[in-house]
Amino acid sequence: MLVLPIWFFSCDVDKTQQGEMPEVDVDVEEGEMPEYDVDWMNVDVATTTKMVEVPKVTVVMEEEQVEVPVVNVNMPDDSDANVERTIRVETEVSDEMRELDILELYATENRIYVIAELEKTGEPLQDQTVRVSDQVVINAPEDLVVRHYIIGEKPDRVFNDDYNYITSRNDISSELQGGKTIYSD
């Protein structure tokens, strides 16, 4: 709990000496300002203990063995320069449970496009936030740029700003021209 000092502008002022205004003439004579003894209020800042509700979030991560697709991409000129990378898409949902699946990996000359789909399941989450994800392992040259697209309605969570949400694959068909599907679910 944070307690900030509050300053009130009230004080007790006692005049301790009489003042004299300067005489106004062609010649100005020096005057004397009155002296005051000022007693400011005393302010003490302290803390107290109160019962308040604070949110508690518990995240349980469990390791499980699952089948993960592995895609090997061999470029004609750099077949020895492949690096294993995990391509992951994930999103946070809070109102209704959704499933997130990588549908397709599409390769052009220097890019890999990850096309995933986010679908509502109809199961209410009742004031919970859940992170859903899918992943594919890829062996490909490390200089390939990866672009992520999720087909579906973007959930209203800050975490979800890392991906591009589209209404259908047709929204990016011009970017995929001349490329090749390297993985399809």
Average pLDDT by stretches of 10, the chain with 185 residues: 50 72 66 76 67 64 75 64 85 89 87 92 86 87 87 83 90 89 84
- Residue 76: per-residue pLDDT: 62
Say if 48 falls within a structural domain: no
Amino acid at 4: L
Say if 129 falls within a structural domain: yes
Say how many domains are in the chain.
1
Say if 33 falls within a structural domain: no
Say if 180 falls within a structural domain: yes
First to last CA, the chain: 51
Say if 19 falls within a structural domain: no
- Residue 158: per-residue pLDDT: 72
- Residue 140: per-residue pLDDT: 81
Say if 55 falls within a structural domain: no
- Residue 79: per-residue pLDDT: 53
Say if 134 falls within a structural domain: yes
Residue 4 pairs in a beta bridge with none
Query: Strand 36-40 relative to strand 11-15: parallel, antiparallel, unpaired?
Result: antiparallel
Say if 46 falls within a structural domain: no
- Residue 179: per-residue pLDDT: 85
When computed from its CA atoms, the radius of gyration of the chain, rounded to whole angstroms, is 34
Cα–Cα distance measured from residue 155 to residue 130, given in angstroms and rounded to the nearest whole number: 11
Domain that holds residue 85: 81-184
